[in-house]
Structure formats: structure tokens, C-alpha cells
Structure 1
Amino acid sequence: MTWRGAAYRVVDGERIDGAWCHVWRRHPFTGDYVFDDLLVYADGTVECAAEGEPGDLEGLRRMLESGRISVTGPREVTGPREVTEPKEVTGPGEAGDSGGGAVGGGARPSGWASRAPRPLTPEGFFAEAADKVEELSGRPTLRERCAEAVRRFGADPCARNRELLREAYLAVPPHLRVYALGDMDQQDRPLRILFTAVGEPVEGDGPVVTEEAHQRAVDYFRSAAEGFARAREQHSVRQADDPEGAGRPVLTSHETVYPQGWPERPGLFVLRNEYPVTLTCGDETFDSVLHGYWSLAAADPAERARIRHAATGREARELGTRTALRADWPALRLAVMTRLLRAKFTQHPELARVLLSTGDARISYTGFADSRFWLDDPAGKGRNWTGRLLELVRSELAGSGPAGSGPACS
């Protein structure tokens, strides 16, 4: 199945990520199958458009077992794939043996060389859906666990690690096992060879496995483990300055209207550009960041003065958006906003402490009236430059001592 996103639902103000795919749903009255959407979420909730209230994974299992949901269309063939006539194998490494470890004589079906996965079954789809929940919730998936078992076996190919690798491989839904190693050429053949006893045909009708075939499989995984180790080393070198851990959750700065005036303790609302605070930028003084931004943007000196003396930041923005802007404003606006934010937080240590209290959280700056250039838009169309510049100023404050008292470098 092909899972698509992004889907989500909101529960008690918290966003829960999900994914969806198409399934065939049996109509309760006609018995005909119709195309429908199935959604799963990180908390294990399962929804199907016409099934009423949200269910869970056990409910999905029952729907699959009863046939109310089918993973194949009404005209699709769900039985085993047709197998062409086998051909004789006279020795190791015969042409067409892309498994890289198959040796011995006897008949071999063409399916051994095929890249097609096993047929999708209700049981396999249920395992895939449950695994999708694990992925959405940030826990290791079955394929990731198999990859970890591969690395462990490659580093130490003992009997115990071989058995753990076998268990991890068999836990992967059958229709996804050909992708377990992430190898487009070998697919899962090294695994199947490794799990087959010497002298036995792979899966009963594949090539007969020898000691040499086993050794080649072991060498394959050892080489893979060495490749993983080199990749991890290269990643650690290239990403040496990456933060450790996940960091703080995203902090969303919402625009809020206070008809009776700002509260005595506005808290994180001091981050807003409309928050009233006197700041000096160059040889001019403004009553908020919005006063400064839109006053400096105006082309007409008279309009600049009018905006600078507006009663509130929101009024300054309203006036500024209705006046002609400087021709060079698109090239200057980021630099001007940066200077205004630096002035605001370096000239007011109490505000700097609030900004520093956000730690390393990403700041998502939202609002009603500003352009998407400055705002973080839920649809992903906003550039969030205000939030990004707040993070920049926060970093500068953190590097200059308490509330910006000194230089970042000494």
C-alpha cells in the first residue's frame, strides 16, 4: 500500500500526526466494494470515512478479518503469483543468479530472481498499518529494527545474532521483505540464504545453499556493517555542531488583542512586534517595533512622521500598509527588522530575559495582518522571518552574557 500525508487530528489542543491510504470498503447494503480512505494516527486511532466513530488497530483487524475492508480490489487476483517453468542450474554464479550467494544444482523458479514483492494479504496490511503507527509516534519501525539487526550481525556474525536477525526479518510484513535491506540489486536474498541450512534449497524451491554461499552472505553483512560505520563517522564529522537531543518544543507566538490594555505581566507576549516599548534605532525613537518598521518603510517624510506618532503599533501598521513604500524597501527590510529587534531586546534587559527563557525552541511567529514573509503560515506558505530573527537575536544575547551586557566574542 502507498501511505500518504500529511494528515492530522487535534485532540485537546494537541496535534496528532497521521497518514492515509486507499482501501476497498464493502458497502453494508449492496455488498459491493467501493474505494475509500483509511487513516491511522500516532496514538493508534484508525478512521475509515464511512465507519462512523474512530476506532483502533484491533477494530481494523476485525474489519479486515470480516471482509468489511479489503486490501485488493474486487477484480484483483489475490492468490499466489504464476510461476514460469524452472531452469536448470549447473553451478554457482549462473547467469540470472542476482542473489549473489546461490549455488548448487537443481531447479530454480524464476521467482528467485524476481524483484516483485510477495502478495499483499490482510494480515500483512494489518502489520504494515501497525508499523505506520510506530513510525508516526517516533518509535523504531520493523524495517529499522531489521536494519539494526543487520548492523549487529555484520559486526558480530554469531549464532545468536543470526537468530535475532532472522526474527527481525520475519517480523517485517511479507510484501515488504524484499525491501528490508534497502538493496535494489540483492533485495532480501542474502537474508534468505543465511537463514537456510547448508544443503537445503532456499524456501524449499530455490537454489541449494552451500558453506561458500553462507560465507558470501556473512561477508555481505560484514561489508554492510563497515559501510554503516563509515557513514556514521562521516555524519558525525559533518554534523559535529548539530544540537544534541531533540531540543524544546516549538514555541508559537500568537497575535492577541487586549481591548483594555496589555496585562501587567504579559509574559511571552513581549516578543510581539506590536508590544509597546520605547526603542532607539539610529537617531530616531519609536514606541514599538511596528512603529519603527513602517515608519522607516515609508517613502514620504511626512508619512514617516505620521506613522511614528501613531497611537498603537497596530495603527502604525495600518497607516504604513496604506502609504507608498521606499523603492529599495524589499532589499532593506530584513536588515531594518534585525536592527529594530536588536534595539528592543538590548535596550530592555527585562525583555531580553524573556526571550532567553525560550532556550533553543524554534519560534513560530503567527498573526492576522502581517505578510507571509514575516509570519509562520499553517499551510507551509509562510517564511517566518520574524520568528527566525527572534532566534538570531536570542543567540546573540546568549553569547553576550546576561541580557546582552557584553560582546559575543572576547
Structure 2
Amino acid sequence: MIRNRVTYRTVDGVRIPGTWRHVFIHNGRYFLTDLRVYADGLVDCWGLVTLEEFEEKLRSGWVATDLPDGAPAAAHGMARWKFSEPRSQLTPELLLAEVKDTIDQLNDRPDSTGRCLAAVDAFLEDRTEENRALARDAFLAVPVTKRRFALGDMDRKDWPLRVLVAGPGGRTYLSFDEQVTQEDYDRALAYFEERSRLKAEWQTRTSADGPATPYAPAVHLPPFAAKERVMDPGLRGLRNDYPAPITVGEVDYPSVAHAYWALSLARPEDHDAVATADSGAAAQEIAAGAPCREGWEQARTAVMTSLLRAKYEQHSELAAILLATNDSTLLYEDVYSSFWGESGGRGRNWLGRLLELVRSDLHMHRSGIPVL
């Protein structure tokens, strides 16, 4: 299901990734709708339900895999029609297996295909009939609609797999396949041995660059108003308006927020008023009524990056808090700016992303990695 169909829902400010496909539901007539599957195991098909509740919707026919000839159907806002000689590749069992696989994929866990290939590897390491039986069971647990794609080989499809798990003299799951000969079996073994060789060769060529996605849970940085520093600010210390004075050039600013809004202004007198405002929020309010520097919109992310680097270089205790977030995605909540922050799952979250960049800078310096 995953492919390029990406969606999400937001829970307590955290995005739960998901994907979707089209299905029919039977609610009086048959309606074409979206089936959304999320990483936390919940499924949305005209209502958010657990996997067990979704299975019951399948068993009852409310989520329809059997489409009767002549039955009325509709797609909301698009069209109405009647089925004429409908053909469905799905059954309740296949769709449920597909959804379970999708949940595994969204959590970077081995799905039925991954478990099958692991069982095949175990058999190739120790070629006992017991291990072959385990590999055969794992292969047959892959939804039949996905078996041909298990090896990612569009020339051979699943031929080597079904021959390997059947064994010499055995029968595959396809009725039109003939009995597996020793020659067929040897060819299948040779296929997997060559596949293993190429995989090992590829792994030696690929550098260990690290995971593509964070291993730590996302971190939410909610708004916090503070005029004075505290002994242990926690995540509040990562907010731009937290009173951590920074020096930029020869000018001292009470916080990153003061510096950012002051530097955005064209007139020196406005700069000074913002730089001495009572709080970061007050600095932003003053800046909102003053003319901005020319070209500021195109330069603002670079300016913000420099200010964040100054903050964490000049405050080691706050740098320690940022480093403690590990590789988490940082969600910087901002109800006023969908550019800098996010709110309710909406927004570009540039501040969160720049904080992750500065965190990487800190790790680089601590590790002594040279910069060219």
C-alpha cells in the first residue's frame, strides 16, 4: 500500500505517518472511499478504528471486497453507476493481510515478505527439511497478490522462491506449475547464491552513513513565556524567546527572538527599541509595525541559523539540552507563523529543522570531525 501515497494524522502535536488506498464500503449502496492506515495500528475508513474493529468491518462486508453484478455504486462528488461484470482481486483475508503488512512497513519492521526472506536465508544457512518447511510457511503467509514481487525481480517474479520452498519432487502453490525437478531446484539454489554474493558485494560498497529516519521519538516544543532564566529550563530553553542573552558582533541581545526581530528592521531607532523590549513577544509586536530590511525574506533563514548557532555556542548548558534530544524530529509550535513553526500538524517548522541542523553542528564539533 505504501508506495507514494503518504498521509498522516496529528496526535498531541505529533504526526503519525500513514498511507492510503481506495476501497469500497457497502452502506446502502457501494461507495468508493479512502482506506487510511497509520503507524500506530489504527485504520480510518469512515471512522478511526482498531485493527480488530477493522477486521470485523471486513467480515461483515461493510468494507466490501465482493462487488455484486448490477449493484449501485457511487464516488461522492464525482459519479454514480452500477457494476457490470465486476472483478475484484481482493478477499477479506487478503486486504487484512495487506493492512497488517502496511503497519509493519510504516514502523520499519519486517512485513510478511521480510519474514519470508529471513526464513529463506535461515534455510540456505542450514538446509534441513524443518527449515524448508518454515520457509514454505513464511512464503505462503505472504499475500498471494504480493508473492510475485517478493524478490524484487520482475524477470523471474517469485519462481526461485516457490521452487526453493517446494523442494525437489514437490509442488508449488500454483496449480499450473509442474513437479519441481532436481534441475529446477539447482537453478533456484544458484539464483539465491548469486543473489547473496551480489548483496554482500553491495554492502561493502555502501558506507555506513546512518539511518534515514530518526530512531528517537519526536520532541514537541510548546510555547513558553519567561522573562527570567531558571536553573533547569528543560525543553523551554530551546525556545527562541527564552532569556539567554547572545552577542552578535558588538551588540548584546536578551534572546534570539530579540536579535532576530531587531536585525529584520531597516531603521536604527526601531532596531534599538526592539533590542530592549521586555520580552521576545514584545519585540515581535514592535517589529510588526516597523519597516523591514530589503531582501529580508530571502535572507531570514540564514540569519536565524547564525543566531541559533550563537545561542548554543555561548550557552553550553542549553547546548546540552539540545544534544539530549538525540536525533529526534523537533516540532517547534508557533500559532503565529506557519513558516517558522507548526501548529496542529500544519506549518513548515523551519525553526525545528534549523535546531536539528545546529544540533548536528554541535555533534560535529564534539566529535572533532574536521570541516573543509
Give the alignment's TM-score, normalised by structure 2.
0.77
Q: CA deviation at 1:6?
A: 1.8
Aligned counterpart in structure 1 of residue 205 of structure 2, from 231, 234, 246: 234
Greater shift in the superposed pair: 308-317 or 14-23: 14-23
2:185 to 195, 205, 214: 214
CA distance in 2, matches of 1:247, 1:8: 20
Deviation at 1:232, TM superposition (A): 2.6
Is 1:64 aligned with 2:58?
yes
Cα 1:368–1:181 change in 2 (3 A) is: same
Matches within 5 A, 1:306-345: 306-330=273-297, 332-345=299-312
Q: How far 1:142 moved relative to its partner?
A: 0.1
- Distance in 1 separating the partners of 2:125 and 2:66: 41
Counterpart of 2:78 in structure 1 is none
Q: Structure 1 residues 357 and 20, CA, compared in 2 at 3 Å: closer, same or farther? A: closer
Q: In structure 2, the residue corresponding to 1:174 is in which secondary structure?
A: coil
Q: TM-score, normalised by structure 1?
A: 0.71
1:49-88 alignment runs, 5 A limit: 49=46, 54-57=49-52, 59-75=53-69
Aligned: 1:132 with 2:98: no
CA deviations 1:202-225 (Å, max 9, x no partner) are 544334532211111111111112
Q: How far did residue 291 of structure 1 move?
A: 1.8
The residue aligned with 2:355 is: 390
Instruction: State whether residues 142 and 171 of structure 1, in contact with CA within 8 Å, keep that contact through their aligned partners in structure 2.
Output: yes
Q: Distance in 1 between matches of 2:255 and 2:13?
A: 31
Deviations 1:366-405 (A, max 9, x none): 3133461x33566575152x3344344445555667xxxx
Equivalent pairs, count: 351
Match of 1:354 among 317, 321, 340: 321
1:138–1:199 distance in 2 versus 1, CA, 3 Å: closer
What amino acid does structure 2 have at the position aligned with 1:21? R
Show the counterpart of 1:292: 259
CA 1:148 to 1:230, structure 2 compared with 1: closer, same or farther past 3 Å? farther
Change (3 A) 1:157 1:221: farther
AA in 2 matched with 1:387: G
Q: Which amino acid aligns with 1:390?
A: L
Match of 2:219 in 1: 251
* Contact map agreement 1:151 1:228 (CA 8 A) in 2: no
Pick closer, same or farther for the CA change 1:286–1:408 going to 2, 3 Å.
Answer: farther
1:150/1:221 contact within 8 Å kept: no
Q: In 2, distance between residues paired with 1:408 and 1:308? A: 36
Counterpart CA distance in 1 for 2:131 and 2:36 is: 36
Q: Is 2:275 aligned against 1:304?
A: no
Residue pairs, 1:30-45, within 5 angstroms: 30=28, 32-45=29-42
Q: Distance in 2 between matches of 1:399 and 1:199?
A: 59
Distance 2:6 2:364 in 1: 39
The residue number in structure 1 matching 2:154 is 184
Alpha carbons 1:294, 1:317 under 8 Å: kept: yes
- State the match for 1:123 in structure 2: 93
Cα distance in 2 for residues equivalent to 1:244 and 1:279: 34
Distance 1:212 1:155 in 2: 21
Query: Is the CA contact 1:155–1:225 (under 8 Å) kept in the aligned structure 2?
Result: no
Of the structure 1 ranges 350-359 and 213-222, higher mean CA displacement relative to structure 2 is found in: 350-359
Moved more, 226-235 or 244-253: 244-253
Q: Deviations over 1:21-47 (max 9, x none)?
A: 3333333xx5x4333444444454445
Greater Rg, structure 1 or structure 2?
A: 1
Change (3 A) 1:19 1:327: closer
Whether the 8 Å CA contact 1:281–1:339 is kept in 2: the answer is no
Verify the 8 A CA contact 1:345 1:351 in the aligned structure 2: yes
Q: Provide the identity percentage.
A: 38
8 Å Cα contact 2:6-2:19 kept in structure 1? yes
Question: C-alpha distance in 2, partners of 1:241/1:55?
Answer: 36
SS of the aligned residue for 2:328 comes to: coil
Aligned 8 A contact 1:253 1:365 in 2:
yes
Q: Cα RMSD (Å) of the superposition?
A: 3.7
For structure 1, the 5+ residue unaligned runs are 77-117, 402-406
For 1:205, give the aligned amino acid: F
199-208 vs 356-365, greater mean Cα deviation: 199-208
SS of the residue aligned with 2:292?
coil
Gaps of 5+ in 2: 71-87
